[in-house]
Structure 1
């Protein structure tokens, strides 16, 4: 393909001119409007750095469900309106299922089940801080008084007995919105 004569004098190392600046400005505006930086980007980066520091952490993935609505990328899902929707997270050896339910005005209760059966320590991370719960022997746990509409992430730590059976020391879910 031959270059048009009026562009032959413009090399790739030429300084930017006003036309280049207008094009870059439009591209910048489009990015800010159509794909703004997530408000929780710093928290996400800190989480990844923290996970890299832990040797035996596994990242669980969301098992897709028709009740979930994708709102941005793979990492942020919103539970649909109406009946409570269950969210299932899977990694190679652990499955975590949670069901958010309204408990009072603008608060939720999170009922959860972890498999395989056994005892687990569960940490829920949100912008408001962390909350902890322990599962019973069947893997069931409950977290109450959670703010409606916030992002949360679960960190699951199997008991030492389960780790000796081959489960990872830490399983982390992606962040989802209640």
Structure 2
């Protein structure tokens, strides 16, 4: 009886042949069908990398609202159609409330309020890039010309005076889809 493998000359370091390519093709099709790569994977990875680069960042959590509809797990929320829905994010020391409103064809305006009162720099990150806004002394801000239906996240940077009062240098919200 021969105990030698049938393909004795095909070791693990040999070049791929047509049989290997067919097997890999089937595995690839199975992955694409049963476990596709999320469309927003690049944005999620970029978010994590940028968050790690911020030394004193706090991640705010979403306060659930009946206006929100889960569209894909806890990482992605969509605001339902109809009346504007307010989304609230909070962490230990900062609360951020935003209300999206239609402003033009396929564009949104985001009205926001940050507490405690004071001045903040607000950065909205989306696949189209970043938009910046500053709050007034009461913590109110507006961002206009935002594409409808895109993922976004907010990066909140309190003024130095607020940081001296105990606020973190950076607060980041989870990514949501409006």
Same fold (TM over 0.5): yes
Matches within 5 A, 1:19-168: 29=30, 32-33=32-33, 35-168=35-168
Deviation at 1:48, TM superposition (A): 0.8
Q: SS at 1:114's partner residue?
A: strand
Could you say which residue in structure 2 is the equivalent of 1:171? 171
For the residues of structure 2 that align with 1:35 and 1:98, how far apart are their CA atoms? Answer: 33
Q: SS at 1:97's partner residue?
A: strand
- Farther-moved stretch of structure 1 (116-125 vs 38-47): 38-47
Deviation at 1:34, TM superposition (A): 5.7
For the residues of structure 1 that align with 2:36 and 2:42, how far apart are their CA atoms? Answer: 14
Listed one character per residue, the Cα deviations across residues 10-38 of structure 1 (whole Å, up to 9, x for unaligned) are: xxxxxxxxxxxx9xx69x74x64465321
Change (3 A) 1:152 1:135: same
For the residues of structure 2 that align with 1:135 and 1:50, how far apart are their CA atoms? Answer: 23
Deviation at 1:75, TM superposition (A): 1.2
For the residues of structure 2 that align with 1:82 and 1:33, how far apart are their CA atoms? Answer: 34
Listed one character per residue, the Cα deviations across residues 150-174 of structure 1 (whole Å, up to 9, x for unaligned) are: 1111000000000000000000001
* Structure 2 segments unaligned to the other structure (5+ residues): 1-22
TM-score where L is the length of structure 2: 0.81
Deviation at 1:45, TM superposition (A): 1.1
For the residues of structure 2 that align with 1:45 and 1:157, how far apart are their CA atoms? Answer: 21
Listed one character per residue, the Cα deviations across residues 93-148 of structure 1 (whole Å, up to 9, x for unaligned) are: 10000000001111110000000000000000011100000000110000011111
CA RMSD of aligned residues (A): 2.0
For the residues of structure 1 that align with 2:35 and 2:63, how far apart are their CA atoms? Answer: 25
The list of structure 1 runs, each at least 4 consecutive aligned residues, that deviate by more than 6 angstroms after superposition, is: none
- Count of aligned pairs: 156
* Structure 1 segments unaligned to the other structure (5+ residues): 1-21
Change (3 A) 1:69 1:138: same
TM-score where L is the length of structure 1: 0.81
